[in-house]
Amino acid sequence: AYFTLQVIYARRKHKISPPETTGHPEFERIFRAQVNCSEYFPIFISLLWVAGIFFHQGVASVGGLLYLYTRYKYFHGYAVAAQGRLGPLYASARLLWLLLGLAVAGLLAHFL
């Protein structure tokens, strides 16, 4: 919701009415950062859920909080400059891989 509100504020600031998705470069970066975070959210929620159920709730929740923090940093880095997104992007990808590993380990332990 926070990222969506940032897009709304950027639309108002740069006078870009929906459904337009192009215009001022700052708006385009903010819009793209929000869309990218939305695209990854179902993957994140699924992995968090499975890792929490089958591995350990505490470990999964810490991984989830770290992921949300790196996405927050990604969003703000991207809003400033396209290159500012790279460090947090790589960190969030590593956390998704960690959650995937926890989910697979938990599933294997549960079913084998």
Spacing of C-alpha 11 from chain mean position: 21
Q: What is the pLDDT of residues 57-91, one digit of tens each?
A: 999 999 999 999 999 999 999 999 999 999 999 99
CATH number, domain with residue 65:
1.20.120.550
Catalytic residue among 11, 12, 32, 71: 12
Residue written as token pair 């590593």:
94
User: How many domains are there within the chain?
Assistant: 1
Give per-residue pLDDT as tens, 36-52: 999 999 999 999 999 99
- Name the nearest CA neighbour of 98 among 46, 47, 45: 47
Q: What is the 3-state secondary structure (H, E, C) of 58-111?
A: HHHHHHHHHHHHHHHHHHHHHHHCHHHHHHHHHHHHHHHHHHHHHHHHHHHHHH
CA angle 56–60–61, rounded 5-degree value: 115
> Which residue among the candidates 11, 29, 71, 85 is catalytic per the annotation?
85
Q: What does the alpha-carbon distance between residue 5 and residue 7 come to, in Å, rounded to a whole number? A: 5
Section 4-13 average pLDDT: 97
pLDDT > 90: percent of the chain: 100
What is the overall mean pLDDT for the chain?
Answer: 97
User: What's the pLDDT at 62?
Assistant: 98
The answer to whether residue 29 is catalytic is: no
Q: Which residues form the domain of 59?
A: 1-111
Task: Calculate mean pLDDT across residues 29-36.
Answer: 97
In the prediction, which pLDDT does 111 show?
Answer: 95
Amino acid present at 36? N
